[in-house]
Structure 1
Amino acid sequence: MHVTSKDGTRIAYDKVGTGPTLIVVNGALATRAGGAELAQLLAPNFTVYSYDRRGRGDSGDNKPYSVKREIEDLEAVIDAAGGSALVYGKSSGAALALEATSSLGGKVKKLAIYEAPYSEAEGAAREWRAFRSSLDATLAAGRRADAVAQFMKFVGAPDEAIAKMKASPAWPQMEAMAPTLAYDNAVLGDDRAVPVARAAKIKAVTLVMDGSASQEAMPFMRPTADKIAKAIPKAQRRTVEGQAHDVSAKALAPILARFFGEGG
């Protein structure tokens, strides 16, 4: 299935389950297939929409890119689903979901986010600007494989892990999505700081999560989640025990089902 966004971009989505509408917003280098297990686990209680963000999977990618257009993509899916929805976002998808909820008002009834990767650690803004500049140059040169490797290195993947990814069947699809890494960077902003002013505008009840196992590799995730939760007026805060950035669908599904099911 697909819906057409305001700028004419076709956005592909899958729909499964019965009950209140819940939309899943994925992170970097992910297609809607990445949310399939979570969607199936939530399907007994929710009508789950998983969609390909622009430039990924079966969705189009009209230029120029802007965060506003990505918000319009999510709004188009919400409208196709009946005009309002529960929204869950992970990683850069969490940042996009936060931005969308801030600007779409009552269209997002409840929001849950897992490890939006803002960072205000010492030196993080400087490293972020250098990474963005370098990635943009790599993409401009058409070196998609190098761009994916660059991103993986930036987020902490060791060389051996990157080598294994390059040898995996998933690598060609990751290469195809490489240009969207710049989109994720744009969503996180110029300095990757927590967007406190926009978070403060969110009226939806919001669940802000991080994983206890992220502390070692990504110690900034905990203070980031704390700051987001403090900024959103109706926020709940939770650390998911034993989970890292690549959170297990089995661990997450009951938490989301409980949160989104509260109060109808």
Structure 2
Amino acid sequence: MTEYVTAADGTRIAFDREGSGPPVILVDGAMQFRGFDPATVEMGRLLAGHGFTVVHHDRRGRGESPADAPITLAQTIDDLRALIDELTEGADDAVALFGNSSGGSIALAAAASGLPISRLVLWEVPLDDEGGTEGSEFLAGLRSRVAAGDGDATIEYFMKDMPPEWLAGSKASPGWPIMTAMGPSLEPDSESLAWTQSAPRAELWAGITQPTLVLVGEETLDIMGPAADSIVASLPNARKGTLPAADHRWEPRSMALAIAEFLVG
């Protein structure tokens, strides 16, 4: 059954809660929400079966969490704060975060902001080179397309550096109108990725001392391995792991087991 929390600005965030045990919040990446991402829904169910309370929410501007543009990274972190408040009872309580793709950079930003987070699991966060300007330039381009209200152009722009067959497949699928409608919600993804280039990462993430697992697939895009290595090198308590996965996709059972083993350990 769908539940709701209210963020600081009054926006209502929809979520599902499953299982019993230490809490884990799933932070979706681009174009993902509960009604549009069966793999993550299934993974959350399996993870709950390992003895965790798993919360899967519709990020602001997606699914059953409608919101007007602009949608910012700060608002997205406030939404996570509201979810954490819902899940915890005392000052010493904390939750784990699983950040999927650009949801991983949002999870890093949430941890850096001081939210009570116990552990982080990050899957293939698509970081550009440390100290570069690609992220800020991309964010400016995305914002201009969102402001123009052109959903097709927004998603085409967001996917321009991905394998071209991904965009072609998306445009040919019945899900394309759903994707174009969630264009404004991609700003926090892009803003968080730009933030990772805004200062030396060891400085930017110095306060993220939580144990962190940085996962990549055995077959992956060229950007993902160096990005994972950069995260591990820049965090004081992180290690890298590999899953039998390809093309930025994972199998729900393998991912649930990898997360569970790390959180228990």
Please say if residues 9 and 62 of structure 1, whose CA atoms lie closer than 8 Å, have aligned partners that are also in contact: no
Tell me, yes or no, if structure 1 residue 241 matches structure 2 residue 251. Answer: no
Q: Gaps (5+ residues) in structure 2?
A: none
Q: Measure, in 2, the Cα distance between the counterparts of 1:199 and 1:232.
A: 6
Does residue 82 (structure 1) correspond to residue 53 (structure 2)? The answer is no
> Could you give the per-residue CA deviations for residues 9-63 of structure 1, whole angstroms, max 9, x where no partner exists?
1111011112211110000111134221111111112111001111111113256
- AA aligned to 2:109 is E
Number of the residue aligned with 2:71: 65
Identity %: 35
Offset at residue 73 of structure 1 (A)? 0.7
Letter of the aligned partner of 1:119 in structure 2?
Answer: D
Distance 1:133 1:170, change over 3 A: same
Is 1:92 the counterpart of 2:102? The answer is yes
Summarize the alignment of residues 99-178 of structure 1 with structure 2, pairs less than 5 Å apart.
99-105=109-115, 107-120=116-129, 125=132, 127-158=134-165, 161-178=166-183
**Is 1:187 paired with 2:192?**
yes
Offset of residue 190 of structure 1: 5.8
More off after superposition, 222-231 vs 59-68 = 59-68
Mapped to 2, the partners of 1:198 and 1:2 lie a distance apart of: 32
Tell me how far apart the structure 1 counterparts of residues 126 and 151 of structure 2 sit (CA, whole Å): 22
Question: 3-state DSSP class of the match of 1:104?
Answer: coil
For the residue of structure 2 that corresponds to 1:54, the secondary structure is coil
Deviation at 1:239, TM superposition (A): 2.2
Q: Which amino acid is 2:45 matched to?
A: Q
The farther-off stretch of 90-99 and 127-136 is 127-136
Query: How has the CA–CA distance of structure 1 residues 202 and 222 changed in structure 2, closer, same or farther, with 3 Å as cutoff?
Result: same
Q: Deviations over 1:175-216 (max 9, x none)?
A: 1101122221111116746743232211211111122211xx
Q: Could you tell me which of 54, 60, 64 is aligned with 2:60?
A: 54
Deviation string, structure 1 residues 202-256 (Cα, Å, up to 9, x no partner): 1211111122211xxx212111111211221111211223433122222211111
Deviation at 1:126, TM superposition (A): 5.3
How far residue 258 of structure 1 moved from its aligned partner, in angstroms, is 0.5
SS of alignment partner, residue 183 of structure 2: coil
C-alpha deviation, 1:260, in angstroms = 0.9
Q: Tell whether the 8 Å contact from 2:71 to 2:187 is kept in structure 1 after alignment.
A: no
Structure 1, residues 118-159: CA drift from partner, whole Å, max 9, x if none?
Answer: 1118xx94554554343333322221012112222222233x
**Structure 1 counterpart of 2:212, one-letter code:** T
Q: 1:55-98 CA deviation, whole Å, 9 max, x = no partner?
A: 11111325653322211111111110125211111111000111
User: What secondary structure is seen at the aligned counterpart in 1 of 2:103?
Assistant: helix
Specify whether residues 129 and 110 from structure 1 end up closer, same or farther in structure 2 by C-alpha distance, changes over 3 A only: closer
Question: Aligned partners of 2:157, 2:55: CA distance in 1, in Å?
Answer: 31
How many aligned positions are there? 254
Q: Is the 8 A contact 1:26 1:32 kept in 2?
A: no
Looking at structure 2, the residues matched to 195 and 125 of structure 1 have their Cα atoms a distance apart, in angstroms, of 11
Residue identity opposite 1:210 in structure 2: V
Given that 2:217 and 2:250 are in contact with CA atoms closer than 8 Å, whether structure 1 keeps it comes out as yes
- Is 1:30–2:32 an aligned residue pair? yes
With normalisation by structure 1, the TM-score equals: 0.87
TM-score, normalised on structure 2?
A: 0.87
Return closer, same or farther for 1:181/1:192 CA change in 2, 3 Å cut-off. farther
| Gap runs ≥5 in structure 1 | none
Aligned AA for 2:31? L
